[in-house]
């Protein structure tokens, strides 16, 4: 990305929505969102293959955010009016990271990722309508129905195996709770970056989440175990951290340009990427079934994005 495009990208990270660039929003926002989806799928895939998931997540987010933290001296802190939203978002994301570690420890990546990410846009659309005054028309409603159908396809294949039904049901429930958490913090953050620079807001969220959980991590694991976890998987952990922060920075930049339901929908092209990655790279059973369900999910998401 060079010249005017790169300057525009940095501007969108550092400034709220304005009227000057509003007319180019769809094209540039979609470009950011596809990049965000690719990075997001990659770091989740790396986390699935990491050792102790809680330790890897804690180190990754702490290191990734610390790399970007010094830039706050140039950009400044988020606007004061968004601090309460930021704090609430941090608490919700802490719950998300804890539950995500549990999910990847016990369930297939190609089950958890498409379900969690695919269900979230429907919930976000509901929250946007109820709390942010956005509207969903008939095509948008049809899109939500299609998403639900795709989610049922992804989940249904797991219940064709009676021996693992209880474990798979637990995975489905966890994935849907993850979707709820994703929808809550995405709606909060989407509203916040309409009023404050996305960069400083995102970096503080990522930094505060592991900082708040540090006493708990030391109490549960102790320094020696935490240190060993970092030393064993340091390259994977650093990669996860940088990818996670970068992916969300791109998403928040897009949030600042477009309606929350629109951005959340396009970003979830990652559900197809995630289902394919679990099938292709992790050799998970029912992968082809989940890819098919994920394509249906994304079709519904696109319908909302384009016509909802």
When divided into structural domains, the chain yields a total of 1
pLDDT score for 9: 41
Separation of alpha carbons 209 and 87, rounded Å: 9
Lowest mean pLDDT among 39-43, 169-173, 186-190, 289-293: 289-293
Looking at the predicted structure, is the pLDDT value of residue 158 above 90? no
Task: Please enumerate in sequence order all residues whose Cβ is within 8 A of that of 112, keeping only pairs 6 or more positions apart, or say none.
Answer: 103, 104, 171, 174, 175, 178
Q: Tell me the pLDDT tens digit for each residue of 81-137.
A: 999 999 999 999 999 988 988 888 877 777 788 788 877 777 777 777 777 676 667
pLDDT score for 23: 38
pTM of the model as a whole: 0.74
Is residue 12 domain-resident? no
Q: Tell me the pLDDT tens digit for each residue of 87-103.
A: 999 999 999 988 988 88
Is residue 8 domain-resident? no
In the chain, % helix, strand, coil (3-state, to 5) comes to 85, 0, 15
Looking at the predicted structure, is the pLDDT value of residue 15 above 50? no
Is residue 5 domain-resident? no
pLDDT score for 284: 67
Q: Which domain holds residue 126?
A: 25-307
Confidence of residue 293 (pLDDT cuts 50, 70, 90): confident
Is residue 2 domain-resident? no
**Residue listed under structure tokens 């976890």:** 229
Q: Dihedrals φ, ψ of 84, to 5°?
A: -65, -45
Separation of alpha carbons 119 and 121, rounded Å: 6
Q: What percent of the chain has pLDDT over 70?
A: 76
Is residue 7 domain-resident? no
Looking at the predicted structure, is the pLDDT value of residue 188 above 60? yes
Is residue 216 domain-resident? yes
Q: Tell me the pLDDT tens digit for each residue of 255-265.
A: 666 665 566 66
**Residue listed under structure tokens 């994935």:** 175
Is residue 117 domain-resident? yes
Is residue 10 domain-resident? no
Separation of alpha carbons 46 and 37, rounded Å: 14
């Amino acid at each position: 990305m060079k010249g005017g495009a790169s300057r525009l990208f940095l501007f969108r990270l550092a400034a709220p929505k304005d009227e000057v660039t509003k007319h180019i929003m769809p094209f540039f926002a979609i470009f950011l969102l596809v990049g965000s989806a690719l990075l997001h799928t990659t770091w989740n895939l790396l986390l699935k293959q990491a050792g102790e998931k809680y330790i890897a997540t804690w180190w990754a987010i702490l290191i990734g955010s610390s790399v970007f933290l010094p830039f706050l001296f140039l950009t400044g802190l988020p606007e004061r009016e968004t601090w309460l939203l930021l704090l609430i978002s941090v608490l919700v994301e802490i719950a998300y990271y804890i539950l995500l570690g549990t999910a990847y420890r016990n369930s297939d990546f190609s089950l958890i990722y498409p379900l969690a990410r695919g269900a979230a846009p429907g919930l976000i659309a509901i929250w946007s309508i109820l709390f942010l005054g956005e509207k969903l028309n008939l095509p948008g409603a049809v899109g939500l129905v299609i998403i639900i159908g795709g989610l049922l396809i992804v989940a249904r294949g797991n219940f064709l195996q009676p021996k693992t039904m209880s474990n798979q049901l637990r995975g489905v429930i966890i994935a849907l709770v993850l979707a709820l958490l994703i929808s809550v913090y995405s709606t909060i953050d989407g509203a916040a970056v309409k009023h404050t620079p996305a960069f400083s807001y995102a970096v503080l969220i990522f930094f505060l989440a592991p900082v708040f959980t540090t006493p708990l991590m030391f109490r549960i694991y102790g320094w020696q175990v935490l240190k060993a976890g970092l030393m064993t998987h340091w390259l994977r952990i650093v990669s996860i951290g940088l990818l996670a922060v970068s992916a969300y920075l791109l998403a928040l930049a897009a949030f600042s340009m477009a309606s929350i339901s629109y951005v959340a929908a396009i970003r979830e092209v990652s559900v197809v990427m995630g289902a394919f990655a679990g099938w292709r790279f992790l050799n998970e059973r029912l992968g082809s079934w989940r890819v098919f369900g994920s394509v249906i999910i994304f079709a519904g998401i696109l319908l909302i994005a384009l016509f909802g």
